Structure 1
Amino acid sequence: MKRRWTEEEINAWAAQRPWFVGMNFLPSTAVNWNEMWAKETFDLPTIKRELSYAQSIGMNTLRTNLPFIVYLYDKEGLIERIDQFLAAASECGIHTMLTLMDDCGFSGEHPYIGFQGEPRPGVHNSRGAASPGRNVVTQKLYWPLVEEYIRTIVRRFKDDERILIWDVYNEPSNDGIFGDDGQMLHFQGPLTEHSLELCRQAVSWVRDEDPSQPLTVGAWRNMKIFIDRTPKIFDHEIDKMALELSDVITFHAYSPKDVIEETLAILEPLNRPIMCTEWLARHAQSTVEDILPIFAKHKVGAYNWGLVNGKTQTHLPWPVIMQASPDYIKTWFHDLFKADGSAYDQAELDLFASLIKEHNA
């Protein structure tokens, strides 16, 4: 649609669909999305096998990021691989949310083509790469290439029923970087100002292509979390923009259940479908047993972080949690399955399966 969907239109869209439950997806063999999507490392057999794990507990959606850098070097190949991926997900009864841009790049490295490096021992998401990259976001002379990328992808898939939603920009203005010692640093550059402007332009580029799917930008910047209980929610300019632009309201919350309830009390009066596109951080009291029943009760779409534990090492927590919890290794931070398809915690998988079955009967 060339404009924002009205409340009536988007609620009618949601009423025809199930409670969506899924995960943020990277195959266990990929250290980041550049490796997932590159021609040399696109691992379709692993993708199919691991999506079957999600299917086994009733998951019906996933969220995954696309890489601008791979598009620059292999446009037609990337489009072909997106089609193959969508087919694999669809065969498992899974609809896909595609994320077009992303400022969350924990490695601190600018995106590049080629070998992405081995995981850095003991570091959460150690090779995470932003897209198009903070070096591109902060240099407007590159934005016409970003526009071409966004328009080309959306134009190709704008009427594809396998795509559920376009997630235009993940965590715009996220400047977090993990240093060599695993500690959090910050990107040096005018990121927030440029991310705001690029996000608004990107939404207009997507709308201009007239997609049949709704779009979203996730509110994330000023969320209450377990570690730093900020006194306000969604008052940051990034979050205000996200809520203003989105057809479907999405947010991130690695938070305990009381914060989730407070958050939904703020978002529900907006009278639009709501999805939490990042959650599950066991060390931060964002657990399956506490959070998933709340999402089920409110029919809030739920995308936990991680499916199969692998090269991203997201079973390890953020460094700040490592410092606070000396026994952190006993508990996985994210992820649900081991690479062989066995459960990290079978009770969690059983709860997913039972709630999905109950609320989508």
Structure 2
Amino acid sequence: MGNRWTPEAAHRWFARQPWLVGCNFTPSNAINQLEMWQAGSFDLATIDRELELAASVGMNSVRVYLHDLLWLDDAAAFLARIDAFLAVADRHGIRTMLVLFDSCWHPEPALGPQPQPREGVHNSGWVQSPGVAVLRNPDEHARLEDYVRGVVGRFGQDRRVLAWDIWNEPDNGPEVALCDPAALKAKADLVVPLLVEAFGWARAMQPMQPLTSGIWLGDWSAPDLLSPIQQAQTSHSDVISFHNYGIAEDFAQRVKWLKTMGRPLLCTEYMARPAGSTFQAILPIAKEEQVGTFCWGLVKGKTQTHLPWDKWENPNLEGLKEKWFHDIFDADGTPHDESEVAFLRLINRLDEMTA
């Protein structure tokens, strides 16, 4: 079994990369990971068209969610679709961070036709991986191991894959949405052992890419302030990743805290316009501090992440009249904000000129 990268190895890897600027990508015609990848709804033409938009503003990377049920359904076909996606992304000069597990939104995923979006609701159809029933059932964990080893084994030496995100926000989900301490502890008791195992399964395949899992809650100013899940995430990650939807000052503070861990940094989620997390506020800091960045969203679509988070509990259409929360382009390729797109092209072009 492989070992966690040393800080020196992680920095050597990071130094070989361009400044990483990308997005979390789900095609506009998919409501969740399952609809993106299932055979009946996998749409390579839409993926191609929308990744071209990402490349047009200088993005060189995307973060993409997989799902364990897709492996269970038809592993060989799933791997073939991942390969097809990577080929399209590569043609646009884009490398892919693949996310293996995710604890956000609906806890009971199911294969087959996915629901239509709930009108006015942010991410109304997104699903967790694994679902809560699988999380609670140790008898199901062997198939999760097969999934991780199978996917990482297939693409662990593939230059088109940038990195492996083992678990997205493992301390998230409906049961801890309000950050209730008892619920968070109950979730941690289930997740931490499996999270650590998942890192081990991936590392056993000896991928050439780094492993990570991003922290997002709380105060990170001292190691003893990290939750058990965050301690597991950061202590097993080759590069440190985090999510931040705060203003520029908050982003800069968190970068300062995390740099004390002595490893390269990736911000794998940011950009929520009404919250003050904008490209113009965050990217200059990230560039100066050499932090890789992945905004949330690219093209407005069935995830409806142009609407703010609170529409999850309080559906209404007023959000449609507000400045978009996430996403950059409308489905026809029209930018939500022309000045924003111009800024992205400028800062990325300047990076190319000074590289």
Q: Same fold by TM (over 0.5)? A: yes
Alignment partner, residue 227 of structure 1? none
> Cα distance, 1:271 vs. partner?
2.0
Contact 1:138/1:191, CA 8 A, preserved across alignment = no
**Which of 288, 295, 303 is equivalent to 1:304?**
295
Structure 1 segments unaligned to the other structure (5+ residues): 225-229
1:282 matched to 2:282: no
Relative to structure 1, is the Cα distance of residues 320 and 312 closer, same or farther in structure 2, using a 3 angstrom cutoff?
closer
- The answer to whether structure 1 residue 263 and structure 2 residue 254 are counterparts is yes
Equivalent-residue separation in structure 1 for 2:249 and 2:61 (angstroms)? 26
Distance verdict in 2 for CA 1:310–1:234, change over 3 Å: farther
Per-residue CA deviations over 1:67-93 (Å, capped at 9, x if unaligned) read 111111111110000000000100000
- Residues 200-252 of structure 1, C-alpha deviations (whole Å, 9 max, x = no match): 0000111111111111011123269xxxxx99996222222211111111000
RMSD: 2.6
Q: Which residue of 1 aligns with 2:132?
A: 134
- Tell me the percent identity: 40
Partner letter of residue 171 of structure 1?
A: E
Cα distance in 1 for partners of 2:325, 2:175 equals 18
1:27 aligns with 2:27: yes
Deviation at 1:290, TM superposition (A): 0.9
What letter is aligned with 2:328? L
CA distance in 1, matches of 2:179, 2:114: 21
- Does structure 1 conserve the Cα–Cα contact (< 8 Å) formed by 2:214 and 2:240? yes
Mapped contact 1:184–1:319 kept (Cα < 8 A):
no
Q: State the one-letter code of the partner of 1:120.
A: R
Residues 45, 326 of structure 1: alpha-carbon distance in 2 compared, 3 angstrom cutoff: closer
Q: 1:233 to 1:120 in 2, by over 3 A?
A: farther
The Cα of 1:95 is off from its aligned counterpart by 0.5
- Matched with 2:110 is 112
List per-residue Cα deviations over 1:162-207 (Å, max 9, x = no partner). 00101111111312279xxxx9799899422111111000001111
Residue 62 to residue 233, structure 1, CA distance change in 2 (3 Å) = farther
The structure-2 alpha-carbon separation of the partners of 1:148 and 1:7, relative to structure 1 and needing over 3 Å to count, comes to: same
Give the conservation status (yes or no) of the 8 Å contact 2:122–2:312.
Answer: no
Summarize the Cα distance change of 1:276–1:185 in structure 2 as closer, same or farther, 3 Å threshold: closer
Q: Give CA-to-partner distance per residue, 1:250-297, whole Å, 9 cap, x none.
A: 000011111111101101122211010000111211111111111111
Instruction: Please list the CA deviations of residues 17-71 of structure 1 after superposition, one character each: whole Å capped at 9, or x if unmatched.
Output: 1100000000000000000000000010000000000011110000011111111
Maintained 8 Å contact 1:309/1:315: yes
Q: What secondary structure is seen at the aligned counterpart in 2 of 1:360?
A: helix
Q: Structure 2: which amino acid aligns with 1:205?
A: W
CA distance in 2, matches of 1:116, 1:218: 27
1:327 deviation in Å? 6.2
- Distance of 1:326 and 1:296 partners within structure 2: 36
Partner of 1:99: 99
Indicate the larger mover: 89-98 or 10-19.
Answer: 10-19
Q: 1:139 to 1:190 in 2, by over 3 A?
A: farther
User: Does the alignment pair 1:194 with 2:190?
Assistant: yes
Partner of 2:36: 36
Structure 1 residue 142, shift from structure 2 partner: 0.6
The aligned residue for residue 310 of structure 2 is 319
Match of 2:326 in 1: 334
CA shift, 1:12, in A, is 1.0
Of 80-89 and 240-249, the range deviating more from structure 2: 240-249
Query: What's the CA shift for 1:357?
Result: 1.7
TM-score in terms of structure 1 length = 0.91
The TM-score normalised by the length of structure 2 is 0.92
Residues 175 and 191 of structure 1 are in contact (CA less than 8 Å); yes or no, is this contact kept in structure 2? no
**1:256 and 1:293 mapped to 2: Cα distance?**
13
CA contact (8 A) 1:221 1:238 kept: no
* 236-245 or 19-28: bigger deviation: 236-245
Q: What's the secondary structure of 1:270's corresponding residue?
A: coil
- Residue 283 of structure 2 corresponds to 292
| 1:100/1:168 contact within 8 Å kept | yes
